[in-house]
Amino acid sequence: MSKSHRHVNKRTGALVAGAAAALVAAAVVLPHANASAERSRPPRTFSSESAARVAASLKADLGADRTAGWYMDTATRQLVMNVLSADDAKRVEAEGAVAKVVRNSASELDAATRALSAHAAIPGTAWSVDPRTNQVAVLADRTVTGAKLAALTTAVEKLGGGMASVKRSPGEFRRYDGGGGQGQGGGGGTAASPLGGSAIFGGNARCSLGFNVTVQGAPAFLTAGHCGKGSATWSADQEGGRPLGTVADARFPGSDFALVAYGDPGARPESAVDLQDGSTQQITRAAEAAVGMRVQRSGSTTGLSDGTVTGLNATVNYGNGDIVNGLIQTDVCAEPGDSGGSMFSGDAAVGLTSGGSGDCTQGGETFFQPVTKALEATGAQIGAGAGAGTGGAEGGGGGEA
């Protein structure tokens, strides 16, 4: 064999060896590439409860500085998670959620709400974090005019573009406690052990019962804190002939919940909400609210209403120093006398009616004290009596979003 032929064969052998090595490398790389593709699943539908679990896991995994809240898309029943980068979006999509890359982080939005509390404590204003717009949604009711409106606008502008927006509310923010009278709703209000949404009376005020609970085995119920601050004792009728119990704890302003201990330690009130049509909804647990969650509210003035959670970590200024923080904002209507009434989603207790703007004719905004915070602060558990649910707070909402 000539020298030139030996050179050609040597070069051909090197090419064949190189090709073989490339095939081996491809065999190693390609399975991993396929596995990565499999991890990116199409968006799936969630219940409120399952969405909350997945969102909590993603938030813990990514951290507050890389996320900016989440919400349920009510039309598609998909979980939408706000993130700050395309890489984090891939992590969200791997869980079957929809990723939305946004500008403001959760910690930045929280800082904005604190700045508003410090510089815009104006009666007739409210604000909450809205993950759908990735902004702090600021509301000003009809009493906020002139210099007050100018001060509010200036405070929002100082937060920087894209951080907050101001809208007007046509009504006037107020607490939803009312005067005496049986009201239109609250069908269980004549019972010695009423249900959620039933009328309760203290002094000259009428409010609504939120949820029956137990505290170290003793029966009690939750209602609004401003109701509990207004009267030490409560009854199921205006004349006081059907006494219920005495306030054991009341927080208002700041928060808005009260715990009333039943006077009869042997009472076994049902853990349920009056649906105002002769039927009831059993309540077995408590759940955190989520924007987009479908909810219902039962109260002694307007009966049963439904709607959607629109904001979280809301602050509302009712005037006279009555400022409440950490509330749930909704588009569910309510009126005076509905204070303390139960907001729920399926079998889950979610909120206690605090106040808002508007009425059940024209609509408006209503704010609720999170039940989970009230349970944590009082040591209470959902449910009372044999066979009733005794679950404490859980993440997620009940039922389908």
Secondary structure E strands in 252-317: 257-262, 272-274, 280-282, 285-287, 294-299, 303-317
How far out from the chain centre does Cα 79 lie?
15
Query: What φ, ψ does residue 123 adopt, rounded to 5°?
Result: -55, 140
Q: Are 139 and 365 in contact (CB under 8 A)?
A: yes
274 is catalytic: no
Tokens 């700050």 locate to 84
Helix (H) / strand (E) containing 222? strand 218-223
CB atoms under 10 Å from CB of 146, counted, come to: 7
Across the beta sheet with 211-215, what order do the strands follow? 205-208, 199-202, 233-235, 243-251, 257-262, 218-223, 211-215, 381-382
Catalytic residue among 130, 256, 274, 331: 256
- 237 is an active site residue: no
256 annotated active-site: yes
Cβ neighbours around 80 below 10 Å, total: 22
Write down the catalytic residue from 305, 339, 342, 357: 339
CB of 222 closer than 8 Å to CB of 194: no
CA distance linking residue 352 with residue 388, whole number of Å:
20
Give CA angle at 260 (396, 343), nearest 5°: 30
Euclidean distance between CA atoms 224 and 176, whole angstroms? 9
Q: 232: helix, coil or strand? A: coil
For residues 59 and 67, the answer to whether their CB atoms sit within 8 Å is yes
Q: Which of 141, 198, 226, 271 is catalytic?
A: 226
Q: What is the three-class DSSP state of 20?
A: helix
Residue 138, φ and ψ in degrees, nearest 5: -105, 130
Q: What is the CA radius of gyration of the chain?
A: 27
Q: Are 189 and 183 in contact (CB under 8 A)?
A: yes
Contact 347, 285 (CB under 8 A): yes
Hey, which residues are catalytic here?
226, 256, 339
